[in-house]
């Protein structure tokens, strides 16, 4: 049997069109890989219906797809339940109302509920040799993976003047692959010998950045340009290195950007 690698895809946030282009690209770039979606699948973006449609189509074609729970999954599920089978959005905040309306229009409320429940059942997907874990946001660097509460794992984010958790991560839990914090480029932190220790791959697709995939054992990234309106100055969405961190950022980019 063929050795399977894993491709982890960053925060999709309702960008169904971009996810479709990513899946199409993965048919050659990652033909025999399982896919892990890192969470925050349906909220914020314009086409949650296409997100579900593409996931179903890939699975029907035999692709193994798994989910990690993000901090938006619970929110999406609560909104879908509150709206009911007819998609009543009168008591929802505008962005969640737009998500529900899009899904109701496509007759996908029930599919979305099933998908959110599946995503919420899994906090972490991982593997061995070398050890890696995909989680939505990160770990408390003082606690490590096993002791970090689930809520923190889904939502840890640095305050404006604080450095990101990954600079203080001990490396004890192996390679951690995360999303949640939009950056202008994927950030791969490496040990002295070059082995990756953190891969942060939310590149702000819904804010007009990129949708990024990271192939775990191959240690390669692939970026798909977003078609959403640019909402930040993405050149400035970087992570400031904490002095004393053991990790370095490789100067040479190992990734590929697909510009279409």
Residues forming the site for Mn ion (CB under 5 A): 40, 70-71, 180
21/180 with CB nearer Mn ion = 180
* Least distance (Å) between residue 80 CB and Mn ion: 18
Q: Minimal CB distance to Mn ion: which residue?
A: 180
* Least distance (Å) between residue 74 CB and Mn ion: 11
- Rounded to whole angstroms, the Cα distance separating 173 from 132 reads 7
Q: Tokens representing 87?
A: 């998609």
* Least distance (Å) between residue 207 CB and Mn ion: 12
- Rounded to whole angstroms, the Cα distance separating 101 from 103 reads 5
Q: Where are the alpha helices (DSSP H) in 106-237?
A: 109-120, 144-147, 150-155
11/58 with CB nearer Mn ion = 11
126/179 with CB nearer Mn ion = 179
30/99 with CB nearer Mn ion = 99
Q: Where are the alpha helices (DSSP H) in the chain?
A: 16-29, 48-60, 73-83, 94-105, 109-120, 144-147, 150-155
16/87 with CB nearer Mn ion = 16
Using alpha carbons, list the distances in angstroms from residue 106 to 49, 90, 102: 6, 19, 6
Strand partners, 257: 223
Backbone torsion region of residue 154, taken as left when φ is above 0, otherwise alpha when ψ lies between -120 and 50, otherwise beta:
alpha
- Rounded to whole angstroms, the Cα distance separating 98 from 191 reads 43
45/87 with CB nearer Mn ion = 45
* Least distance (Å) between residue 239 CB and Mn ion: 16
**Angle at CA 63, nearest 5°, toward 212 and 178?**
30
* Least distance (Å) between residue 136 CB and Mn ion: 6
* Least distance (Å) between residue 13 CB and Mn ion: 8
């Amino acid at each position: 049997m063929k050795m399977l690698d894993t491709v982890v895809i960053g925060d999709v946030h309702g960008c169904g069109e971009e996810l479709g282009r990513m899946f199409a690209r993965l048919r050659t770039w990652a033909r025999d890989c399982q896919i892990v979606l890192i969470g925050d699948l349906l909220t914020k973006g314009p086409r949650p219906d296409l997100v579900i449609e593409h996931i179903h189509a890939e699975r029907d074609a035999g692709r193994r797809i798994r989910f990690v729970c993000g901090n938006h999954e619970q929110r999406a599920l609560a909104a879908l339940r509150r709206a009911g089978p007819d998609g009543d959005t009168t008591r929802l905040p505008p962005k969640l109302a737009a998500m529900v309306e899009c899904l109701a229009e496509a007759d996908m409320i029930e599919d979305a509920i099933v998908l959110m429940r599946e995503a919420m059942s899994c906090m972490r997907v991982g593997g061995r040799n070398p050890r890696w874990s995909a989680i939505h946001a990160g770990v408390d660097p003082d606690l490590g993976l096993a002791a970090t509460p689930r809520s923190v794992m889904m939502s840890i984010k640095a305050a404006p003047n604080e450095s990101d958790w990954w600079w203080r991560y001990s490396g004890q839990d192996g390679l951690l692959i995360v999303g949640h914090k939009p950056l202008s480029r994927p950030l791969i932190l490496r040990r002295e010998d070059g082995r990756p220790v953190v891969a942060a791959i939310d590149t702000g697709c819904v804010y007009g950045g990129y949708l990024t995939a990271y192939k775990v054992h191959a240690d390669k990234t692939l970026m798909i340009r977003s078609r959403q309106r640019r909402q930040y100055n993405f050149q400035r969405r970087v992570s400031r290195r904490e002095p004393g961190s053991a990790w370095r950022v490789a100067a040479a980019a190992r990734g590929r950007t697909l510009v279409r």
